[in-house]
């Protein structure tokens, strides 16, 4: 079917979009166990960056599964498809010139590598590296308890694997740092790697 498809070029290029938004597009891919703090950090990061003049949007795991990926479960195959779709959407956000912050467990290295391939140089892998014991002690949704009792199957860290990033661009241990400190680190990272063009030209 793909042989009958023709890509339609956009009227604007990356430089023109960057000039409009004041920065290049990028994907901040937050990966880590459930309850590691990904969603909380992502939402706080979006607010902090927006206040500084960045244009951002968060793609959160639960939100996406309630809409775009509502037809997917948690089998290895469905997890892979979940991340494939998110990687493609994130790439579109980055191509549009926005900072796309994703908060997904994304447990498999191959899936994250595929997302990186989709996003190209815009992709930044951020490991939210709280250990399993810390995440399980938090358990805000009661998911670990359900997984331990057998009520919830294919749960990452308990009955399904999490493959730790081997060379993330940034690792944040939320077992040792709170949300505020984690966000400060991420804001600094973004400022260094995706600087505001307007700030540089002042």
| DSSP symbols for 85-125 | HHHHHHHHHHHTT-EEEEE-----HHHHHHHHHHHGGGEEE
CA distance 149 to 91: 38
Structural domains in the chain (count): 1
**In a domain? residue 202:** no
**In a domain? residue 8:** no
**In a domain? residue 7:** no
Residue 60's contacts (CB-CB under 8 Å, 6 or more residues apart) are 39, 42, 43, 102, 103, 104
Whether the pLDDT of residue 198 is over 90: the answer is no
159 catalytic residue (yes or no) = no
Q: Which of 106, 118, 129, 182 is catalytic?
A: 106
**In a domain? residue 166:** yes
What pLDDT shows up at residue 3? 80
Domain residues for 131? 13-194
In degrees and rounded to multiples of 5, residue 164 shows phi and psi of: -65, 135
- Assign residue 180 the CATH number of its domain: 3.40.50.300
| Mean pLDDT of all residues in 84-99 | 98
**In a domain? residue 199:** no
Least Cα distance to 28 among 116, 111, 136 occurs for 116
CA distance 164 to 25: 26
Whether the pLDDT of residue 1 is over 70: the answer is no
Query: Per-residue pLDDT tens for 15-67?
Result: 999 999 999 999 999 999 999 999 999 999 999 999 999 999 999 999 999 99
| Mean pLDDT of all residues in 159-165 | 96
């Amino acid at each position: 079917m793909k042989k009958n498809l023709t890509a339609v070029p956009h009227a604007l290029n990356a430089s023109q979009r960057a000039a409009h938004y004041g920065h290049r597009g990028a994907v901040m891919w937050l990966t880590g166990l459930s309850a590691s703090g990904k969603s909380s950090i992502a939402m706080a990061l979006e607010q902090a960056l927006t206040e500084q003049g960045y244009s951002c949007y968060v793609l959160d795991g639960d939100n996406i599964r309630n809409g775009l990926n509502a037809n997917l479960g948690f089998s290895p195959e469905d997890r892979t498809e979940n991340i494939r779709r998110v990687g493609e959407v994130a790439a579109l956000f980055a191509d549009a010139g926005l900072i796309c912050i994703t908060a997904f467990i994304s447990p498999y290295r191959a899936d994250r590598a595929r997302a990186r391939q989709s996003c190209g140089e815009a992709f930044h892998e951020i490991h939210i590296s709280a250990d399993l014991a810390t995440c399980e002690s938090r358990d805000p949704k009661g998911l670990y308890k359900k997984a331990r009792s057998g009520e919830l199957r294919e749960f990452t860290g308990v009955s399904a694997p999490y493959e730790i990033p081997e060379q993330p661009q940034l690792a944040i241990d939320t077992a040792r740092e709170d949300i505020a400190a984690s966000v400060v680190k991420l804001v600094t990272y973004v400022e260094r790697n995706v600087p505001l063009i307007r700030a540089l030209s002042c």
